[in-house]
Structure 1
Amino acid sequence: MHAPSSNRYTVVAILLHWAIAALILFMIWLGWNMEDNEARFQLHKSIGIAILFLSVARVLWRWRNPPPPLPDDMTPWEKRLSHGVHMGFYFLMIALPLLGWLLVSTSRFQVSTVLFGTVSWPHLPFTEGLRGGVVHEVTEFLHSKGAWVLIILLGLHVAGAIKHEVAAEQGVFKRMIPGLFGRPHSPPPAQGYAIAFGGAVLLFAIIAAVPLMKSAPPAPNGPGATGAVSEEAGNWDIDTETSEIAFSGTYQGKPFSGTFGRWDATVLFDPEDLEGSTVAVEVQPGSASTGTKLYDDTLQSGEWFDTNTFPVVKVSLINFEASPEGGYTAKASLLVKEQAVNVPFDFSLIIDSDTATFEGTTTLSRAAMNLGQQSDPGGDWVADEVTVTVKGTATRKE
């Protein structure tokens, strides 16, 4: 490995330096201004992970491209202090994001992480038994105090750079200025692009692939997708293209809605024999889609539907009765995470020859289904009541 022949950093080192610096300054502000703000909290986590991998690339780049020597007119103690500040920076730029990752992973509030609203990010492995305990408290302390140490180092770093620019010494700040300004020599030849950026990208890709490996394999949308409910006992075939199971509620006072993409149903219904009518439905909650990836990931997590352990929600409709308004009502029995819930289900039905059009609704309680009861038992964030709507068409079997 050759020694640098220039007193300037490489262009890559300069760009990484200023990119990380800008993100750190924004993170400091964001850390003080994100309380009770989900969007800023997610952004804080996203930028933290970005800083982590940019810092990994920066360390690997520094290894392959040593920085220029400090000016000769700096005293030995100034050089030691400068070196110590730099090493402290590198340590904290990697340690603080890792502590933040551990902090989120060990929190009893298991909030999903979606980087910049796009990439699902897993919790650290082997942290299930540490949630809400001493490890979480210690991690929170270290993360908070480490941020203050970073601010102090940042102040020393800036003060040192200014001091060497205004004093009768060789300046060091101009070595990190992009472009031609203050550039006495060309930067040294760069090497190690694949190691620095390839290593950081590969590490990121491996971690980001973990949620994908845990996800259920893709399946067709709509009825018939689960393949678990036998249709032999039914007398109606539900039309896949026109039928849906949807849900809606409020989050932080704002409405949200979504649909379940994979479900199956066996329908045995006769208006002349309501007592003998039954409907069996199996829904895959992992197929819930709200249009917001954070919500979709959260619904699959352990304290919500826990889709890895309970991939199916079973629903049965019995005790059908004709309502005075001209529709029907039934008793809906749900089995959610082995939790039994019974609610009334009201629906309208129009039968025209061999075609039926239906639409029904019911209201469910998150608390009754044990959904989100660790992080939001009082419904302060997500309202306890969730409305489920079913609509579509069916064709009578021959």
Structure 2
Amino acid sequence: MLRNTKTRYGWTAIVLHWLIAALFIGQFALGLVMIRVASQRTSFELIQLHKSFGFLLLGLVLVRIGWRLGNKSPELPDEVGPMERRVAPSVHLALYVTQLAVPLSGWVLVSVSVLEIPSMPFNLFLMPHLPIGVSEQAENFWIFGHRWLAYAGIALVVLHILAAFRHHFWLRDVVLVRMIAPFLDRRPRRQE
């Protein structure tokens, strides 16, 4: 089952979800480490790795958004209240926006940097800089913006995780289970 149904996520959505989650959280951790390393050489290598994973994350998020637009999400269980039904789409939209904004702001940051260091994702090809003016002021602005977008993204991820745990451990519904593996959900099915 690759595609979503009315009650389950398909494998494509599940794999993209967890791959992007791991990359997003890993990128946040790597970003914190790379700016605190004493060795300039190690810091430079970590920054290059961070840029590589950032471009990969951007590509995967674009694929995920395309997949999401072409596949309806499963309906929420009947136990989910009206307020949560209104809030959940906004939180998901905010997650998508930050998952796009963080790597894009990183790309802008390296494009406006006065250091003008080329980006070579995983040493495979040269990623061109965006056609924007290089300046120290712009670089400082985008350092600040990239950092705070990442913090906002992680805050949304934590909120998302807490909501998933609430569904699983408190409400005991299938919201989390169907994103882990659809075959684990053994509830009787309505016609799909």
Verify: 1:71 aligned to 2:77, yes or no: yes
Instruction: Name segments (4+ residues, structure 1) moved above 6 Å.
Output: none
**Secondary structure class of the residue paired with 2:184:** coil
Q: Distance in 1 between matches of 2:71 and 2:102?
A: 25
What are the equivalent positions in structure 2 for 1:120-139 lying under 5 Å apart?
120-125=126-131, 127=132, 129-133=133-137, 135-139=138-142
Verify: 1:82 aligned to 2:82, yes or no: no
**Secondary structure class of the residue paired with 1:139:** helix
1:150 matched to which residue of 2?
153
User: Is residue 15–residue 178 contact of structure 1 (8 Å, CA) maintained in 2?
Assistant: no
User: Is residue 104–residue 111 contact of structure 1 (8 Å, CA) maintained in 2?
Assistant: yes
User: Is residue 43–residue 116 contact of structure 1 (8 Å, CA) maintained in 2?
Assistant: yes
1:34 matched to which residue of 2?
34
2:56 matched to which residue of 1?
50
Verify: 1:96 aligned to 2:102, yes or no: yes
Q: Which structure is higher in helix share?
A: 2
Amino acid at match of 2:135: R
Percentage of identical aligned residues: 36
Return the offset for 1:5: 4.3
What are the equivalent positions in structure 2 for 1:230-309 lying under 5 Å apart?
none
> Which runs of no fewer than 5 residues in structure 1 stay unpaired?
190-398
Match among 103, 112, 120 for residue 106 of structure 1: 112
String of CA shifts for 1:353-374, please: whole Å, max 9, x gaps.
xxxxxxxxxxxxxxxxxxxxxx
Query: TM-score by structure 1 length?
Result: 0.43
Q: Using CA pairs under 8 Å that are at least 6 residues apart, name the structure with larger relative contact order, 1 or 2.
A: 2
Return the offset for 1:41: 0.5
Return the offset for 1:31: 0.5
Return the offset for 1:137: 2.5
Q: Distance in 2 between matches of 1:103 and 1:164?
A: 38
Query: TM-score by structure 2 length?
Result: 0.87
What are the equivalent positions in structure 2 for 1:197-216 lying under 5 Å apart?
none
Tell which structure's C-alpha radius of gyration is larger: 1
**Secondary structure class of the residue paired with 1:172:** coil
Amino acid at match of 2:88: S
Q: Distance in 1 between matches of 2:161 and 2:21?
A: 11
Change beyond 3 A, Cα 1:12–1:140: same
Q: Distance in 2 between matches of 1:131 and 1:144?
A: 18
Change beyond 3 A, Cα 1:106–1:183: farther
Return the offset for 1:185: 7.7
User: Is residue 111–residue 130 contact of structure 2 (8 Å, CA) maintained in 1?
Assistant: yes
User: Is residue 7–residue 185 contact of structure 1 (8 Å, CA) maintained in 2?
Assistant: no
> Which runs of no fewer than 5 residues in structure 2 stay unpaired?
none
Q: How many residues align?
A: 182
Amino acid at match of 1:33: V
Aligned residues: CA RMSD:
2.1
Q: Which structure is higher in strand share?
A: 1
Return the offset for 1:184: 4.5
